Structure 1
């Protein structure tokens, strides 16, 4: 109980209230002039009713300024520091809606109004209490015109110290109660609204999407490259001294793979450089199906895996004329499938890429086109007691890439082979 009334937290809340009283002064002075003019040019400080009228008028004036942007973050920071309210209960940043602005205005007028009352009591009560406590000791304080309370005799004057102590105790209790009231009201009036929570959720979702994108890019670029380089180095080591030409080709493939991967890694890291647009512009462009499929196949074959490709443009369009985003995502999906074949496969890979007509949307509609990627290879020996039936992070990333374009990815055993099948909608046609 003592800490709640006179502890460190209670004293900090008292300071918060006094600051509110100081902030009300400009509004009070304006209201004082307005009330004085309305009352016929009188001095409102000479009239208690007019003083209270000016005080009452100053609160709506304060509420009007409470709708402006800086008020809420400033108030939330003061409440967090001086009132001990946890930061997670308070909103961050300016109010985004009129409902939030209205709550901020209500808080601003409550803080300044209660602060002015407590600040006024803090200025007036201590001197009065000191006088009352000194009444029994100073006879002149009991005589008019200095006497605050009439005491009929010296015996009754000894009640004055009790009255002074009671006034001080009342001031402390009032300040503690007002501070507790503001601390309880702060989460209600300064807490996040539904719009604030929605904006925060959207910001977190956007940040998570960026993180997932970077994770996919790093996995696809670096993971595939490391798998290819590992297999190429192992193959070169096995024939070292017997087939110099093969070793030379393997080392050249390792050099080319490493160089390309460094460029792609620099592009991904460029996304992390805030305020460095030049770094992002200078980064190597992301590979696409149209620009680097032949190179990807060559690097995979150099690692010792035979790849057969069936490219079927067909009447629905030419897959080499895909839009940049579709071509990029398709390239990453093919790269993931070839990487899985390198790591887990046990035989040649058959890759089929075709643009075909999608499901008919009904009479009067244009048939959509789809890019279909199908990759099959014999599965390798299981690494554990049960055969591998699902993919890892790479296949999940490939599925996410397909979903971004409205497509899908399927991976698993099919007719005794491991099959990866991706379908990417292309809309009305290729570009």
Structure 2
């Protein structure tokens, strides 16, 4: 019983009633326009005294409301905001964007007509029913005063009429509350279907999310491959220098110089990585590293970190497309970084970069000496996935795993028609 009372007079019911009253207020300009049409057409000068003419004016105004909602795209976010605040509709089920395509405009027009139609009816009832119901409730106490002075039907002023009038008044108030609650529930039920995103809206949102995710993934790859490689190299260089601090000062000086060079260069690379977040490269932003300009420095810094790198370059890096050259540099960098982290200092690493027809082939190998492949560190393990992503986005392939007692990374990138 208490649930039914809350359904008629609870906070949600009251807010939905306000939403309906708002719809009635929005309907008034369209009703006035309908009266301008109905009055001259029926040669009637007093529309307010004729309920049928008022209803006809109301009916003629609703198509104008639908046209308004279809013409003005901002109607949908405004109506969605009102429905979200007053109808108790899940915010995620309503679209905050203007109606752009035909389907969205049509649904918005249907909602606007439904809101104004039901709101006009409930508003009219809210104005007319309570005063009449109050008269019926107090009629037994003032039967002599009212009599026929208010034009009440005879059944209410004679016999059992005055005694039953309060019951009729209370029934009318309950009927009004029930009608308002029912109309509010109907609007709340239809709001997601009419004000929610259309298939076109969902497609646009999915494309926006995909574009944002692509940028985030690209930024994550760049940070992992540039900063991650630098930190791994610096860590190993510092560790090697600490072990021979007293016995080999010359090596310590070389390691510190390599650390300085690595960190200075990484700051420039970080600038280039952050440029991914901008619409274009900002003036003064360091260019992204490429095979042609930066491969020698990468091999030198990696060697200073303790790896014995043997490079076999069988292609002219300057002849590669810029995009392929940049991605190939990052792939080689990540391959060497994996060797630094997992193989350890003093490990020989072979890097082979060759042209295979319309493809660039990159191979990085290092021995494992029978040791198991180390497990990915917590929060890490994204290097090989990043290499695979880079290769896939260029239309190439990437393979990594045990081969001939060692670890082998092999990547093929197309040099023509790269995406």
State the TM-score, normalizing by the size of structure 2: 0.91
Which residue of the partner structure matches residue 103 of structure 1?
A: 107
- The SS at the match of 2:306 is coil
Q: Distance in 2 between matches of 1:133 and 1:399?
A: 80
Assess if the C-alpha contact under 8 Å between 1:389 and 1:412 holds in 2: no
Partner of 1:26: 29
1:70 aligns with 2:74: yes
- Counterparts of 1:232 and 1:196 in 2: how far apart (Å)? 53
| Residue range with higher mean Cα deviation, 194-203 or 138-147 | 138-147
How far apart, CA to CA, are the structure 2 residues paired with 1:156 and 1:91?
53
C-alpha displacement of 1:212: 1.3
Question: Deviations along 1:254-298, whole A, 9 cap, x unmatched?
Answer: 0010111122223334545xxx77994443222111111011011
Q: State the distance in 2 between where 1:201 and 1:278 align.
A: 24
Tell me: CA distance 1:278–1:334, structure 2 relative to 1, closer, same or farther (3 Å). closer
Which secondary structure does the structure 2 equivalent of 1:46 belong to? coil
Return the offset for 1:163. 1.7
| Alignment-derived partner of residue 113 in structure 1 | 117
- The match for 2:9 among 6, 9, 14 is 6
Structure 1, unaligned runs of 5 or more: 358-368
* Cross-structure match for 2:64: 61
Once the two structures are superposed, residues 344-392 of structure 1 have per-residue CA deviations (whole angstroms, 9 ceiling, x without a partner) of: 22621221112221xxxxxxxxxxx11111122212563xxx4459993
Q: Which residue of 2 aligns with 1:340?
A: 338
In 2, the alpha carbon distance for the partners of 1:244 and 1:250 equals: 10
CA distance in structure 2 between the partners assigned to 1:141 and 1:26 by the alignment: 39
Is residue 189 from structure 1 mapped to residue 194 from structure 2 by the alignment?
Answer: yes
TM-score (norm 1): 0.89
Find 1:84's aligned residue among 85, 88, 104. 88
How far apart are the structure 1 equivalents of 2:64 and 2:183? 21
What does 1:228-247 correspond to in 2, within 5 Å? 228-247=233-252
In 2: Cα distance, 1:94 partner to 1:223 partner: 43
Deviates further, 165-174 or 194-203? 194-203
Change in 2 beyond 3 A, CA 1:401/1:232: same
Of 279, 303, 321, which residue of structure 1 is paired with 2:319?
321
Structure 2 counterparts to residues 172-187 of structure 1, below 5 A: 172-187=177-192
Q: Residues 281 and 3 of structure 1: is their aligned pair in 2 closer, same or farther, counting only changes over 3 Å?
A: farther
SS at match of 2:410: strand
Q: Distance between the aligned counterparts of 2:5 and 2:273, measured in 1?
A: 59
Residue 52 of structure 1: CA displacement? 1.1
- Larger deviation: 177-186 or 157-166? 157-166
Alpha-carbon contact 1:136-1:154 (below 8 Å) kept: no
SS at structure 2 position matched to 1:311 = strand
Deviation of the 1:112 alpha carbon: 0.6
Change (3 A) 1:36 1:80: same
Instruction: Indicate the residue corresponding to 1:47 in structure 2.
Output: 50
2-side partners of 1:389 and 1:153: how far apart?
95
Alignment-derived partner of residue 361 in structure 2: 372
Secondary structure of 2:151's aligned partner:
coil
Q: 1:324 to 1:30 in 2, by over 3 A?
A: same
Q: Secondary structure at the residue paired with 2:19?
A: helix
Query: What is residue 295 of structure 2 aligned with on the other side?
Result: 293
The count of residues paired between Structure 1 and Structure 2 equals 408
d(CA) in 2 for partners of 1:117, 1:205: 45
Q: SS of 1:353's equivalent?
A: strand
**Structure 2: tracts of 5 or more residues without a match:** none
Q: Any idea what SS the aligned residue of 2:148 has?
A: coil
Q: CA RMSD in A?
A: 2.2
CA contact (8 A) 1:267 1:280 kept: no
Q: Is the 8 A contact 2:369 2:405 kept in 1?
A: no
Give secondary structure in 2 for the equivalent of 1:94: coil
Separation in structure 2 between the aligned mates of residue 206 and residue 399 of structure 1, nearest angstrom:
19
**Contact 2:339–2:366 (CA under 8 A) maintained in structure 1:** yes
Change (3 A) 1:10 1:144: same
2:318 and 2:384 map into 1 onto residues whose CA distance is 24
